[in-house]
Structure 1
Amino acid sequence: MQENQKPLAQPEEKEGGQNSSTENVKKDFSGLLGSLKTFFGELLDIRSNTDQETTIEHIKNDIPFKGHNSWILICSIFIASVGLNANSTAVVIGAMLISPLMGPILGMGMSIAINDVDTLRRSVKNFLVMVGLSIITAFLFFRFFPLRDESSELLARTAPDIRDVLIAFFGGLALVIARAKKGTIASVIFGVAIATALMPPLCTVGFGLAIGNWEYAMGAMYLFLINTIFIGLATFLVLKILRFPMVRYVNSARRRLISRIASLIAVIVMIPAGYTFFNVWKESRFRNDARKFIHTVVRPYEFSKGGMFLENLSEINYKRDGKSTIELVFMGDEVIPTNVINTWENQKQADYPALKNAELRIVQGGQSDSEQKYNYVHELYESSKKDLLNSAEKIRFLEDEVERLRKLTYNVDFAKLSREAKVLYDGVGEFGFSNEIRTDFATMDTVPAFTVKWKESASRAQREKEFEKLKNWLQLKTSNDKVEIKQLN
C-alpha cells in the first residue's frame, strides 16, 4: 500500500515546482520593469539638475533692448541682410549667432508660465521694439542698397511649411531646457539660434517692403510669428512641467485676477499656435499629395507622337480659400485626349483627398509649327524668370529648352538673302524659303528648304553651274549643311 502511494505524491510536487517557477519569472520580470523604469527615469529627469532662480534671473536679464543690445541687434540685422542679399548661408548663420532676438520671446513664455505680469509687460514692449527696429533697419538697407536681387536665401523665407513649425517648437524646448540647467549649455543656445532662424524672416520683411512686394513681406512675417509663438509655447510648457514657482502677490484677490489673466493669455497664445500648425499641416499635406499625384498618375503617361511632360515647369499652387491649382505643362505635337484628362481628374478626386477641391489645369502644345513652340517657351521663360530665381535647375532647364527649339527653327533674313542672290546669280528668276518639319516617327527635325525658279533665258549649263554654287553659298550663310534646294523648272 505504501509503495502504491508514492506515485500519487509526485504530481503534487511537480505542480508545486511549476507554480514556484512561474512566481520566480513574474518576480524577475517585475524587477526588470522596475530597473528599466528607474534607468529611464534617471536618464530623462531634468528636475533634479534645474536651477530655477538662476534661470528666471538670466531670462529677465536678456529681455531689455537698450544700449549694447540695441546696437548688437542693428549690426546683426545688417550682417544678415548682406548675407541674404549675397545668397551666403555662412554670413546669415554668423548674424544669427550674435543676434539677441531670443530674450523677449523667452520672457513672454516664462512670465505667462509663472504668473508674472510685470515681466510680461516688459517682454511684450521689448519684443515690439525688437521687431520694429529690425524691420526698419532691414528696410533701409534694401531700400538704398543698389543690389537687390531676389536670392534663394531670401525667397526661402517667404513660404513656411510644417517643418518650420516643428523646428520652432523643438528648438524652443531645447533652448529652455538648456537655460534651466545648472551651468547653461552655450552650444545649445547657439544651435537653437541657428535652427529657429528668427533673424532672416525679419530681414525678408524689410526686403519685401523695400521693393513693394507685400506677398514676400507677409509670408516672411508669418514665418517669424510661427517661430515666436512656438518658442514661447515651448517655454511655457517646459516651465510648467518643471514646476517653476508662481509669483505671489500680497493681495490674494489681485493674485487670482493676475493668475486668470495669465491663463487667458496662455490660451490665447495656444489658439493661434494650434491654428497655425493646422494650416501649415494642411498645406504640407496638399503639396505632398500633389507631388505623389504627378509622379504616380501623370508622369507615367506615354506619348505616341513625341510629346513631352515638362515637370519642372508644372506648378503646385496652394490657396487657403480653397482655390488651389495644379498646373501641368506639356509640349509636343500630341494633344492630351479629353478622356485621359477626365481619368486623371477622377483619380485625383478618389485617391487624393487633399486635392479634392483643387483645380487641374492642363497647358499643352499640340501645334505643328516649331517656331510657335519656340516663341511660346521663350515668352514663358522671360515671364517666369523672376519667379524662378530661387531654382537654378529650372532656369537651366528653360534655357536648354529654348536653345533646343531655337535649333529646330531657322530664322533667315530672307529679304537680305534674296537681294544678294539676285546680284550673285543671274539665272535665278524666283527665290523662296520655308522650314520643313520632318520625322522618321522616332525623332523630329526641321530642315531649311529653298526653292529656285530659273529664268527662261538661262541655259542648262548655266543652271547646273549656278545651282552648285547657290547650294554651297546657302550652306555657308545658314551655317547648316542640311540645306535643301528644289528647282521648280
Structure 2
Amino acid sequence: MEVNEGKPDNLGGGIRFFLKETFNIIDDTDVNATIDDIKAGVPIKGQTAWVLIFSILIASAGLNTSSTAVVIGAMLISPLMGPIMGIGLSLGINDIFLLRKAVKNFGIMVVLSLITSFLYFSIPVFQNETPELIARTAPDVRDVIIAFAGGLALIIAFSRRSKAITTISGVAIATALMPPLCTAGFGLATGKWHFFGGAMFLFSINTIFIATATFVIVRFLKFPFEHYLDSKRKKIISNVIYVSAFVILIPSVFFFYKLYKQSDFNQTISHFIQEQKEKKGVLIFDIDKNHSKKEISFAIIGNKINEKDLNKLKTLLSQKGYGNVKINIVKNYQESDKNKTLNEDEKILLTSQKIANNQYPIAAVFEDISKEIHAIDTCIVEVSYGRILKSNFDSIDTIPTFYIKWKEETIDVDFKNNQIQNWLRVKTENPKLKVLAIQ
C-alpha cells in the first residue's frame, strides 16, 4: 500500500503544499545556534579587528583602481556585518545588553574603517577620483534594495541548521557597507566633504536597512524574548527597545520613499535626454539633475530642443508630482536670431564655415574650439592640433587632426573620441577631420 505522506489530493491543496515546502524557513531554523552565532560575531577585537583593517585596505585599493574584482575580494573577508546584525537581533529579542554591546562595537567598526581608508587615501598618488568612488556619493533606491535584500539573505542563512551559505551571504552585506566607508575616508583625506557626506549618508541608509531586515526575520521566526527577573526593569528595557526599533524603522520608510522619488525624477530626465540624442540628434552634455531644488541644467550643441518637447517633459514631471521644475539650457547653438548682432557662439559658427571653405585655418580659432571640447567632457586633460600629410602614391591629402589626452581613469575613451570627432566634423563641415587619443 502506497503512503501519501500527507500530500493533498486536490490541485489547490497541492499548490499550497508546494509553496509551503519551497518557501518555508521555520522548520529548518535553529534559534539558539543563530543567536549564539550572531552574538559571537558582534565584538570587533583581536583577529576580527585586524581582518577588518586589512579588508578595508584592500577595498580602498580596489576603489582607487576601479577594480571590481579587488573590491569583491575584500568583501569575502570582511566582518562588517557582525555589529549591525547584533543591533537587529537585540531589538528583535528585547536584549538591552546585546544592544549596548552591538552599538559600541559598531562605533569601533566605523572608526577603524575610516582611519584605515583615511590613511590609505592620504598618500598623494592614491587621491585620484575614480568612477567607483564617485558612484558611492549619491545613493538611490537601488542601494536600499541591495542593503535590505542582503540583510534578509544573511539573517535567513544564519538561521539555518546548515551554515553552508553564510559566508557567501555576508558578501551582500559587505557590498552595501565597505565601499561607502572607504569613500568617506577618501573624502576626509582629500578634504572633499561632498564625498564624505554622500558616502556616510549611503552608509547610514544601508546600516538602517540591514538592521531592519534582521529585526523583521527575527520577529517572523518568533525568536524568544530575553527574560528579566525584575518586572519593572523588564518594562523599562522593553520601552527602550521599542523606542530604538521605532527610531530605526521610521527612517527606513522615509529614506526609501525619498530615494525612490529621487530615482524616479532622475530616470525621467535621463529617458528624455536619451530620446533627444537618439531621435532628434541633439548633443547634450554637462547634465545636472537636482531633485531637491527641482532644477535641471544642461548644455546643447547642434539641433535645439523645441518648446513642444520641453513642455511635454514639464507635463510628465508634473504628473509624477514634480511641479514647477526649472529647466536651464546653458547653450543652444541653433537658437541664434539672424537679425540680431552676432554673439560669440555665432561668430565661432561662422568661423567654422570659413574653416571648412579653407578661408583660414583651424589654428586661428583653436583656443575657442579647445574650450568647447573641454566643456563637452571635463575628463579631457589636453587638446592638441596638427595637420597630417597622407599619400597613396598618386596624390597627397591633408588631414586636420585633433589629439586628445584623457585622465587615466577615464572609461569608454573610444566612444568619447568618436562622439567629439562627429561633432567636430559637423562643426567644421569637414568629413576628413580626425580625433585621436594620446597617452
| TM category, shorter | 0.7 to 0.9
Q: 1:318 aligns with which of 290, 299, 322?
A: 290
CA deviation profile, 1:251-278 (whole Å, cap 9, x unmatched) = 1121122112111111110111111111
Identical columns (%): 38
Taking a change above 3 Å as real, the CA distance of residues 30 and 348 of structure 1, as seen in their structure-2 partners, is: farther
Offset from partner CA, 1:43-81 (integer Å, 9 cap, x none): 221111111111111100100011111111111111111
Q: Is the 8 A contact 2:113 2:181 kept in 1?
A: yes
Structure-2 change in CA distance of 1:102 and 1:328 (3 Å): same
Q: Is this contact kept in 2: 1:93–1:194, CA < 8 A?
A: no
Alignment of 1:224-235 (within 5 A): 224-235=203-214
User: 1:392 deviation in Å?
Assistant: 2.2
Query: Which position in structure 1 is the counterpart of 2:372?
Result: 377
The verdict on how the C-alpha distance between 1:47 and 1:404 changes in structure 2, with shifts beyond 3 A counting, is closer
Change in Cα spacing, 1:398 to 1:34, as seen in structure 2 (3 Å) is closer
2:394 equivalent in structure 1:
none
Counterpart residue number, 1:221? 200
Which deviates more, 235-244 or 274-283?
Answer: 274-283
Is the 1:65–1:129 Cα contact (8 Å) retained in structure 2?
yes
Corresponding residue to 2:110 among 131, 136, 153? 131
Tell me which amino acid in the other structure corresponds to 2:208: I
Structure 1 segment 192-231 matched on structure 2, within 5 A: 192-194=170-172, 196-231=175-210
| Aligned: 1:348 with 2:313 | yes
Whether the 8 Å contact between 1:159 and 1:223 is mirrored in structure 2 is yes
1:186-224 per-position Cα deviation (integer Å, ceiling 9, x unaligned): x34324424633111111110111111111111111221
Partner SS state of residue 197, structure 1: helix
Alpha carbons of 1:373 and 1:344: their partners in 2 closer, same or farther (altered >3 Å)? farther
1:155 aligned to 2:146? no
CA distance in 2, matches of 1:164, 1:346: 32
In the TM superposition, residue 279 of structure 1 has moved relative to its aligned partner by 1.2
Distance 2:297 2:253 in 1: 27
- Cα deviation for residue 328 of structure 1 reads 4.3
Deviations 1:328-370 (CA, angstroms, capped at 9, x unpaired): 4223xx6x48xx33x2332122223345333222222242222
Query: Which residues of structure 2 form unaligned runs of 5+?
Result: 1-7, 335-345, 353-364, 382-405, 433-439
* 1:289 equivalent among 246, 268, 278: 268
Partner of 1:247: 226
Deviation at 1:396, TM superposition (A): 4.8
Q: Letter of the aligned partner of 1:374 in structure 2?
A: I
Which protein is bigger by CA-based radius of gyration?
1
- Is 1:190 matched up with 2:185? no
1:119-143 deviation per Cα after TM superposition (whole angstroms, max 9, x unaligned): 0000001001100110011001110
Partner of 2:301: 330
Distance in 1, matches of 2:123 and 2:274, equals 45
Looking at structure 1, the residues matched to 21 and 223 of structure 2 have their Cα atoms a distance apart, in angstroms, of: 20
Structure 1 pair 237/389, CA: closer, same or farther in 2 (3 Å)?
Answer: farther
Alpha-carbon distance change, 408 to 178 in structure 1, aligned in 2, over 3 angstroms:
closer
- 1:365 is matched with 333
SS at match of 2:122: helix
Query: Does 366-375 or 33-42 show the bigger shift?
Result: 366-375
Residue 251 of structure 2 aligns with an amino acid whose one-letter code is P
Q: 1:365 to 1:39 in 2, by over 3 A?
A: same
Alignment of 1:300 onto 2:279: yes
* Pairing 1:6-85 to 2, within 5 Å after superposition: 31-85=10-64
Q: 1:108 to 1:399 in 2, by over 3 A?
A: same
State the alpha-carbon separation in 2 of the partners of residues 191 and 110 from structure 1: 17
1:380 maps to amino acid: A
Equivalents in 2 of 1:226, 1:390: separation in Å?
28
The answer on whether the counterparts of 2:59 and 2:182 sit within 8 Å (CA) in structure 1 is: yes
**Matching residue within 216, 239, 242 for 1:260:** 239
Aligned length: 370
**What's the counterpart of residue 93 of structure 1?**
72
Which amino acid in the other structure matches residue 204 of structure 2? L
CA distance in 1, matches of 2:150, 2:261: 22
Q: 1:136 to 1:170 in 2, by over 3 A?
A: same
Counterpart amino acid of 2:289?
N
